[in-house]
């Protein structure tokens, strides 16, 4: 496990499938940035997946190279089991990854959605609405929203720790319930 972590630099950019383009790959490479990008599956990828299925292979790594007007570099296509169910997901990367490390590297991509969901929760559930253009006001509102979010997650974690059930991601205390409790504590009743 430690070996796989050595090959996954923290500075790896995780992009959406819309960035699946040789020009994007080369631009990132020119900037010295490592990337991991889901690949659109076309006939070439389907052929590799069919060969993997015939050989009863769960993971494969194919070497490739990018050649565009902005330059060229070596890259790899990682074929790994999909985290969304049956099938195979394909990723493009310029990381040096072998078949034994491919799943670990690609698992980082699936964790990316957790960050986006957390930001969406901060924005929708905790961030106060303002029309102020004053950056200090907007910054305060955002920092306060992050603080409320962290209080919610900590409270939810402590509630789960007190119960002997599994520590899954689904909250015991919803964001809305947490906001109601915070408001009732901050705003005195008449």
Q: What is the value of pTM for the model shown?
A: 0.63
| Whole-number pLDDT of residue 184 | 84
Summarised one tens digit per residue, pLDDT across range 138-157 is 999 999 999 999 989 888 88
Looking at per-residue pLDDT, the higher value among 177 and 116 belongs to 177
Q: Which of 18-22, 143-147, 163-167, 175-179 has the lowest mean pLDDT?
A: 163-167
Which residues make Cβ contacts (< 8 Å) with residue 129, sequence separation at least 6? none
On average, the pLDDT of the chain sits at: 85
| Whole-number pLDDT of residue 2 | 42
Q: How many CB atoms lie within 10 A of CB 153?
A: 16
Burial 86-96, CB ≥16 within 10 A → b, else e: eebbbbbbbbe
| Residue 55, pLDDT above cutoff 60 | yes
Task: Give the separation between CA 24 and CA 1, rounded to whole angstroms.
Answer: 30
| Residue 89, pLDDT above cutoff 70 | yes
Mean pLDDT of 115-140: 89
Say which residue the tokens 């072998």 belong to: 98
| Residue 6, pLDDT above cutoff 60 | no
The percent of the chain in helix, strand and coil, each rounded to the nearest 5, is 50, 20, 30
| Whole-number pLDDT of residue 10 | 55
């Amino acid at each position: 496990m430690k070996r796989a972590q050595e090959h996954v630099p923290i500075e790896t950019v995780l992009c959406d499938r819309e960035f699946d383009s040789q020009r994007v790959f080369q631009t990132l490479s020119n900037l010295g940035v490592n990337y991991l990008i889901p690949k659109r599956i076309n006939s070439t990828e389907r052929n590799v997946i069919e060969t993997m299925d015939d050989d009863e292979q769960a993971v494969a790594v194919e070497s490739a190279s990018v050649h565009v007007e902005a330059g060229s570099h070596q890259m790899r296509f990682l074929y790994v089991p999909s985290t969304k169910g049956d099938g195979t997901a394909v990723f493009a990367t310029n990381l040096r990854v072998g078949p034994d490390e491919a799943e670990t590297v690609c698992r980082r991509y699936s964790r990316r959605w957790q960050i986006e969901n957390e930001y969406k929760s901060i924005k929708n559930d905790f961030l106060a609405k303002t029309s102020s253009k004053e950056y200090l006001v907007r910054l305060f509102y955002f920092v306060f929203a992050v603080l409320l979010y962290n209080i919610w997650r900590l409270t939810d974690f402590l509630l789960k720790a007190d119960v002997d059930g599994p520590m899954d991601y689904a909250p015991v205390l919803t964001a809305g319930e947490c906001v109601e409790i915070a408001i009732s504590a901050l705003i005195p009743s008449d």
